[in-house]
Structure 1
Amino acid sequence: MKKKNVFGKILIVGRTNVGKSTLLNQLINSNISITSRKPNTTQTHITGIYTNQLTQFELIDSPGIKYKYSSTEKKKLRDTFNLIHEAHIIIFIINCFIWNNEEIKLLEYIKKYNNNYILVINKIDCIKEKKLLLPFIHKINQFNLNHEIFLISAKKNIYLKDLLIYINKKLPISPHKYIYTKKTNCTKKFLITEIIRNTLMNLLNKELVYSFKIEISNLYEQINKKYFIYSIIFVKNKRHKKIIIGHKGEKINQCNKRSKNKIEKFLMKKINLKMLVKIK
């Protein structure tokens, strides 16, 4: 009997810093979702595309669940809950030994509106005594009856093959939506913005991590085959602008240099990158 193509939409949910972006990048074998040790690194929904022979799926990375939300973040949270209704599979990812009210409430919502979920415990490579996981798994199972629990390390690519095998069994039979080489439906401009944002976040440390917004106002290929990219970093006030520019422009020059190297690797072409900091 001839096997048929499967295709579906998979949503990754969980609190901040559990490894959602790392899991997405590992599964599609491409760094489209930025990763950082800083909380709330992912600030919008990012879609990667996994394709392997008969299997294809959209894998959506969502902003992390947390305690308090601004008005903008509440909208993103509503978007996540809407996607829970639509997705064929939910990957609910948690860190080892962290199971609080946030996780319980999110799981209850998932079970109510989309019971086709997978519970994943990440970062098992950080646990020396694996037997310590048994009481934690037992605790979770009180809320997770009749559902699989997967133990993985997204960063070290441990047991991700087992997760993929299980996903493949759960996806509906359907024709593929994308060509096999496509890794994301995000625009080139968006991905370049994310590269600059990640670079700036790492340079700023805790000084000004989330009080800026980046826009690409111009992106085109020049006659000499180089890309010209003009980016604007919008900040709230003069103090924030001063921090991002740094002493004698040191910080913004570092950001430009590091971002340029990363973007050239991403585009596989040389670029001219201009950066401007404005108050908005």
Structure 2
Amino acid sequence: MKKNTFFGKVIIVGRTNVGKSTLLNKLIKSNISIISHKKNTTQTHITGVYTSNLTQFELIDSPGLKNNYTNNIEKKKLRDTFNLINEMNIIIFLISGFIWSKEENRLLKYIKKNNNNYIIVINKIDLIDDKKLLLPFILKISKLTSNKEIFLISAKKNIYLKNLLIYIKKKIPISNHAHVNKKKTTCTKQFLVTEIIRETLINLLNKELVYSFTVFITDFYKNIKNKYIILSIIFIKNIRHKKIIIGNKGGKIKKCKIQSQYKIEKLFQKKIYLNIKVKIK
């Protein structure tokens, strides 16, 4: 007798820097989403794929919510997140510490109205020394969320993620798998490379330059020795920013190339050639 297979879609939502990207990477056991201590580093929706025996689900990392949206691009990302919420089998509403403000209330109101299949996940519990302090906060959240499931985890330290995974698996509907078993993401290799370069550079730069550049892949192919050749350009707004990114005697961009190449080789499991140029757009 043929056993049922299970497939569904899960999205992680929440404000900036609550650990959405870390949670996605830990659950699918692959580093496909940017992790940085700087805010707003996830710029688009990134989909990972989790597969274990009969169960498979797409796990979507969404850009973080914030207090105000200053341009049409940011507003579109917010609309995209809200539209995706409507389609999900499970919504992981991720929070950290004791933060619950008007942004969380706004998101919760939308979710309750459009897709009530959500859970609350409180992340970074490893940073809370006195766990008893969580009890009144959990009680407050429980009242706001009509006694929905609340999970305590540390994505970074891999604490209690197993409990969360067990719950998700139970809620995934019967359906055919959409992806082959070894697939970890729906993103293209080119996209993952641009994200790795962007992540590396973000972590090398000052906070104010996070949004001041874009990464573009000009060539991406395998040579006759089956080695990936990757040529990329970092487009920057002005000469001052270009000098900052290149660094003293080219030191910063060289460091970016070395670190990015190491991460890409680790992801692809093979040697690559990477070249990075910096140009003013």
Q: Equivalent residue for 2:249?
A: 248
The Cα of 1:205 is off from its aligned counterpart by: 3.0
Match of 1:37 in 2: 37
Residues 1:185 and 2:183 are matched in the alignment: no
Runs of 4+ in 1 over 6 A off after TM superposition: none
- SS in structure 2 of the partner of residue 225 of structure 1: coil
- In structure 1, the residue corresponding to 2:209 is in which secondary structure? coil
Map 1:60-209 → 2, pairs under 5 A = 60-69=60-69, 70-209=71-210
CA apart distance, 1:248:
1.8
Which sections of structure 1, spanning at least 5 residues, go unmatched? none
> Which has the higher mean CA deviation after the structures are superposed, 199-208 or 55-64?
199-208
> Over residues 80-101 of structure 1, what are the superposed CA-to-partner deviations in whole Å (9 max), with x where a residue is unaligned?
0100111111000000210111
Letter of the 1:68 counterpart: N
Partner of 1:52: 52
CA–CA distance in structure 1, aligned partners of residues 182 and 140 of structure 2:
42
What SS does the corresponding residue of 1:142 show, helix, strand or coil? Answer: helix
Give deviations 1:130-155, integer Å, cap 9, x for gaps. 11100101111221113111111111
SS in 1 for 2:138: helix
CA contact (8 A) 2:41 2:210 kept: no
**What is the CA–CA distance in structure 1 between the aligned matches of 2:162 and 2:248, rounded to whole Å?**
48
Point out the more displaced range, 248-257 or 16-25.
248-257
Question: Structure 1 residues 228 and 2, CA, compared in 2 at 3 Å: closer, same or farther?
Answer: closer
Question: What is the CA RMSD across the aligned residues, in angstroms?
Answer: 1.2
Q: Once the two structures are superposed, what CA deviation does each residue of 1:49-90 show, in whole Å capped at 9, x if it has no partner?
A: 001111110000000000122221111111101001111110
Q: Tell me how far 1:41 sits from its aligned partner.
A: 1.3
C-alpha displacement at 1:113, in angstroms?
Answer: 0.3
Q: What code does the residue aligned with 1:208 have?
A: L
Deviation digits for residues 193-249 of structure 1 (CA, Å, limit 9, x no counterpart): 111001101111325122100011100111122211110101111111111111221
Distance 2:203 2:125 in 1: 25
Instruction: Look up the match of 2:22.
Output: 22
Which residue is 1:4 aligned to? 4
- After the TM superposition, which of the residue ranges 248-257 and 2-11 deviates more from structure 2? 2-11
Distance in 1 separating the partners of 2:105 and 2:53? 36
Letter of the structure 2 residue corresponding to residue 105 of structure 1: R
Q: TM-score, normalised by structure 1?
A: 0.97
Count residues with an aligned counterpart: 280
State the 1:25 CA deviation.
0.6
Structure 2: where are the runs of 5+ without partners? none
User: Does the alignment pair 1:231 with 2:232?
Assistant: yes
Aligned identity (percent) is 69
Q: Decide which moves more: 108-117 or 203-212.
A: 203-212
Moved more, 246-255 or 117-126: 246-255
Classify the secondary structure of the residue corresponding to 2:21: helix
Worse-matched range after superposition: 129-138 or 160-169? 160-169
Whole-Å Cα distance in 1 between the matches of residues 208 and 113 of structure 2? 40
Question: How far apart in 2 are the matches of 1:126 and 1:82?
Answer: 33
